[in-house]
Structure 1
Amino acid sequence: MRLSPAVRVSRYFMPTMRHDPSEAQIVSHRLMLRAGMIRQESAGIYSWLPLGFRVLKKIEQIVREEQDRIGAHEILMPTIQSADLWKKSGRYDDYGKEMLRIEDRHEREMLYGPTNEEMITSIFGDHAKSYKNVPLMMYHIQWKFRDEIRPRFGIMRGREFLMKDGYSFDLDAESGRKSYNKQFLAYLRTYARMGLKAIPMAADTGPIGGDLSHEFIILAETGESEVFCDKALLEFDLTKTAIDMDDADAVQAMVDKVTGPYAATDEQHDQTAFEAEVPEDRRVTARGIEVGHIFFFGDKYSKPFDAKLTTADGEQVLVQSGSYGVGVSRLLGGIIEASHDESGIIWPESVAPFKVALINLRQGDEGCDGVCEDLYAKFQEAGVEVIYDDRDDRAGVKFSDMDLIGVPWQVIVGPKGVKGGFVELKNRKTGDREELPADAALAKLAE
């Protein structure tokens, strides 16, 4: 989806709020409502308004690019699935009341899919029959529904959510683990590109199944669980590490580096081994939020669907599979939890709704209007996403709103600056300000 590079606040739908809504219990929920990013329609179900939708699409695109990078192919499966698929796998009753069950006009049992292991296995099994068809990874980015008994915390624990779920298919378990490792590293890179410190943690497989699983936890003071890890995990950044994702040995070595003896754990596990292995000066205790979960479950789903491949020797074997989920909409809330201050959101540039907020301190002043209109046009020409606050309102209101929505850079134009031949450039994250000519500010932000 192509996002327009520029909007005027006077013509934009951005219903900001001055005060914290009483129903919001956590920072991300509070700030998303105040910034006019979402609107609650019913318990755990939200409309995404223009500002929130822009960020959601930015996050989705990063997830998509990192899946494409490792050779996964994007498809799109329906939200509504046949109950027969789930009965065939034996999981129809596993989800209990979390699963929204539907009966169509022909009295066929249907459901709003919470995940897609059954459907993707059926698709693959019907069409792939030979060892020549693997390895294969496919993914889609689709809305899910889980009827949480107590939806809360805004999009962090809603009933409807946007998710990337990917699936791997391999001839044997060894090959399957290679696909798992590729996804593992793709996840680390995905989160790093969003400005997040994410740590992988060995996890229970739950109703998905299998014996190999990792959760990915981003650190935030408001996180729901306590996490213990080696400082080395926080220093690791895959985006700064060159690695050939088709080199299985190199990929395995990198995964081993991150999941070695100093891997992360949480408060539900025995800390004795962790404290014995990690020197005291390297131990980190923090709060974390889960934003992704990956699984390798072998033939759990290929067995009931009889998904088999013929080997080079003519033998028929069950397909080995894994699944890989990223909470795309949940990530948006997680980023806010990890990056905010008392004034509002602080977006990393990679996912910010706009790169620049252009603030006219005296709308209607010929000099201020002229400089702003010129900059607004030039930002668009340079491909810089800009939101121009052209409202006839007090400067304090404009400063408050632009801080609240968290755009990384603010270009402030006032009568004093126009007279002196400069604009003020503010970094939202650091608060640093500098005065410089308008063209210099443009050149700096267009780099």
Structure 2
Amino acid sequence: MRWSTLYVPTLREDPADADAVSHRLLVRGGFVRQLMAGHYSLLPLAVRVRSKIMDIVREEMTAIGAQEFVLPALHPADIWQRSGRWEVMGEEMFRLRDRKGADLALGMTHEEVFTVLSQELRSYRDLPQMWYQFQTKFRDEARPKSGLLRVREFTMKDSYSFDAGTSGLDRAFELHRAAYERVFARLDLPAIAVQASSGSMGGSTSVEFMCPSDAGEDLVVRCPGCDYAANAEKAASALPSVVDGPELKAPEPFDTPDARTIEELARQHDVPAERQIKTLVYVVDDQPTLVLLRGDHSLVEQKLVDAAAAKVVRPATVEEIQAALGASPGSLGAVGVTELPVLADEALRDRVGMTTGANTDGVHLRGVSVARDITVRRWANLREVTAGEACLRCGTALDVVRTIEVGHIFKLGRRYTEALDVSVLGPDGERVVPVMGSYGIGVERALAAVVETHHDEKGIVWPVAIAPFEVAVVGLGTGDAKVTEAAETLYRGLLDERVDVVLDDRDERPGVKFRDVELVGVPYRVTVGSRGLANGTVEVTTRATGETRSVPVAEAVEHVRGLLAAV
């Protein structure tokens, strides 16, 4: 490839709307251009990187015995309705109708469609199966941001396993876990495997692969003393003991006309936050529900969704709260409430001498015993884990790191096969419902995550395995026939050795050429100039380290081959 004919619209200034490093550098480097919020055109350099990422993923999928499909991106509503996810997906699903009035959706994921295909499996002898594809997914993100990290249209490698029983699912899950670890190692992505919530996917177990980055939107709790790691939506920790307040025979009301928050109650009435009960009101599948936490703790909504096994969860409106409890936020409590379900965080179990709202505006109750005075329907881990809390396994202080999700694997069980009436003939002649797993990698997000973790002040520093080109041959002084001939000879020699090489043959100043090669992140640069040729040498520069060596012209191709082989 010659740079003079390659479309690489590099920019000298950062785009004004770019917040993440990857967004800034991919736009500046001429990799992507935004069409509208959440939708990006991939330009030739990005297409080359994307293809190399897909090749790596494809190789690892093939290695575990998975077979590649290509399924439609436009889905009939019926299969999503049968699985129960037509409503659950809410506003994130793009929906439309065809000219005949049939309801359709742009696929967010493909569990339903692959399950429909599995209806042609006849016998346990047809199992196990592992199927995968690369396909465009659509999600109507409310706030697309950070370039390719949060978009509304993207490519996903999604794979699905079908097995006769849970032992087969366990095997497929571990095969995918190991394959993902190899994929991310080959991409040079420092991905951490963490426990995660299954969310709207359902199933019993899920593991996310999270890449530490300041640009990430997910928090991971991990222990430096052992191998514990979990998404904040799943994490648990040990809390230090706290001192209860005075235990009373019955809750005692007291006036708090100007205390509507945890902090105001603590400051005005000397009630520490850890001795308060925070009462939140949520609507859980159309049912107003009280959610209780310690006053100094925060709710993780996904934990509530999981604990309640709910399809739809949202905060109640002020009007709904008034109708349910007869009071305004700031004076709410669960003492004596029996007509509404109450979910409580485990940190409140067996606490006494607590303070909470009295369901009368401007009034609170002190001396509350949780076990005696509150009817808790379900106990669960609902609170947010914070840095410094103790690991449940080893007691070490936990870290909380910001991360980008680059992969997610699920044990789905029989949710989809049962909903879509899939069964096979078992060895005893009885019908068996297969168990499923689902496994995803976001291709463009992985590309952006690589940039987030591989860059410097000059631009991107691509790992060799996925760089748009492995080597750039840069000729300085295009009017010099000897330079032009030497650069062409090196370029052809590298092509003959199957090196992925670009020849920068533009009529540009050396500084422009060097800045562009550094910005787009080509791992090795071979510089051909008249001064070096006079001494019979060219310069070979390593992008990651900045190291430059003078190499005899006749040895340059072999030298570069050696550098690439050593990676």
Same fold (TM over 0.5): yes
> Does the 8 Å CA contact 1:262/1:277 hold for their aligned counterparts?
no
Structure 2 counterpart of 1:4 = none
The alpha-carbon deviation at position 381 of structure 1 amounts to: 1.0
Counterpart position of 1:107:
101
Q: Go from structure 1 to structure 2 and tell me whether the alpha carbon gap of 1:33 and 1:109 turns closer, same or farther (over 3 Å shift).
A: same
SS at the partner of 2:188?
A: coil
Q: Cα gap change, 1:98/1:133 in structure 2, threshold over 3 Å: closer, same or farther?
A: same
Looking at structure 1, the residues matched to 114 and 411 of structure 2 have their Cα atoms a distance apart, in angstroms, of: 15
Corresponding residue for residue 193 of structure 1: 186
Partner residue in 2 for 1:445:
560
Structure 2 residue matching 1:57: 3-state secondary structure: helix
In 2, Cα distance between the equivalents of 1:444 and 1:274? Answer: 52
Counterparts of 1:254-333 in structure 2, within 5 Å, are 262-267=227-232, 269-272=235-238, 275=391, 277=393, 286-333=401-448
1:349 aligns with 2:464: yes
Residue matched to 1:157: 150
What SS is found at the alignment partner of 1:55? helix
Letter in 1 for 2:8: M
Q: CA deviation at 1:444?
A: 2.1
For 2:166, the equivalent position in structure 1 comes to 173
Report if the CA contact (8 A) 1:262-1:274 is conserved.
no
Partner of 1:394 in structure 2?
509
Q: 1:203 to 1:276 in 2, by over 3 A?
A: closer
Q: Give how far 1:414 is off.
A: 1.3
Kindly report which structure 2 residues correspond to 1:231-250, keeping only aligned pairs within 5 A, or say none: none
Q: C-alpha offsets along residues 348-397 of structure 1, whole Å, 9 cap, x if unaligned?
A: 01101100011112111122111101111111111111111111111111
Distance, in Å, in 2 between the alignment partners of 1:352 and 1:40 is 22
Structure 1 gap ranges (5+): 1-6, 233-260
Q: 2: CA distance between counterparts of 1:366 and 1:101? A: 61
Work out the CA distance in 1 between the residues paired with 2:89 and 2:232. Answer: 26
Question: How far apart, CA to CA, are the structure 2 residues paired with 1:385 and 1:202?
Answer: 39
Matched residue, 2:24: 30
TM-superposed CA distance for 1:200, in Å, is 0.4
Cα displacement (A) at 1:277: 4.1
CA distance in 2, matches of 1:48, 1:226: 29
Inter-partner Cα distance in structure 2 for 1:174 and 1:103: 41
User: Which whole-Å deviations, capped at 9, do the CAs of 1:231-279 have from their partners, x for residues lacking one?
Assistant: 69xxxxxxxxxxxxxxxxxxxxxxxxxxxx6231345634448646458
Distance 2:395 2:488 in 1: 58
Aligned length: 411
**Structure 2 partner of 1:375:** 490
DSSP-derived class of the 2:155 partner: strand
**Paired position in structure 2 for 1:118:** 112
Contact 1:221-1:338 within 8 A present in 2 as well: no
Q: Which has the larger radius of gyration?
A: 2
In 1, are the aligned partners of 2:197 and 2:206 still within 8 Å (CA)? Answer: yes
Residue of structure 1 equivalent to 2:130: 137
CA contact (8 A) 1:73 1:137 kept: yes
| Partner of residue 405 from structure 1, selected from 520, 526, 532 | 520
The whole-number CA distance in structure 1 between the counterparts of 2:149 and 2:40 is 11
Whole-Å separation in 1 of the counterparts to 2:424 and 2:93: 32
Q: d(CA) in 2 for partners of 1:40 and 1:337?
A: 19
Counterpart Cα distance in 2 of 1:129 and 1:110: 29
Give TM-score scaled by structure 1 length: 0.88
Q: Measure the CA separation in 1 of the matches of 2:185 and 2:561.
A: 23
Distance, in Å, in 2 between the alignment partners of 1:365 and 1:278 is 68
Q: Which residue number corresponds to residue 83 of structure 2?
A: 89
> 1:256-308 CA distances to partner (integer Å, 9 max, x unpaired)?
xxxxx623134563444864645869x77644211011100110001111111
For 2:396 and 2:390, how far apart are their aligned partners in 1? 10
Q: What letter corresponds to residue 61 of structure 1 in structure 2?
A: D
CA–CA distance in structure 1, aligned partners of residues 517 and 532 of structure 2: 19
Cross-structure match for 2:204: 211
Cα pair distance change 1:327/1:48, threshold 3 Å: same
| Aligned-partner Cα distance in 2 for 1:299–1:421 | 69
Matching residue of 2:325 = none
The separation in 2 between residues aligned to 1:274 and 1:216, in whole angstroms, is: 23
Classify 1:443/1:221 alpha carbon distance in 2 versus 1 (closer, same or farther; 3 Å). farther
Q: CA deviation at 1:439?
A: 2.9
Q: Which SS does the other structure have where 2:88 is aligned? A: coil
Q: Is the alpha carbon distance of 1:83 and 1:337 closer, same or farther for their aligned partners in structure 2, counting shifts above 3 Å? A: same
Measured in 2, the distance between the counterparts of 1:48 and 1:381 equals 29
Shift of 1:220: 3.0
- TM-aligned CA deviation for residue 228 of structure 1: 4.3
Q: Structure 1: how far apart are the matches of 2:188 and 2:549?
A: 24
**Residue of structure 2 equivalent to 1:239:** none
State the 1:136 CA deviation: 0.7
Letter in 2 for 1:438: V
Which stretch has the larger CA shift, 74-83 or 357-366?
357-366
Aligned counterpart, 1:52: 46
Unaligned runs of 5+ in 2: 239-388, 563-567
How much has 1:225 moved relative to structure 2? 3.8
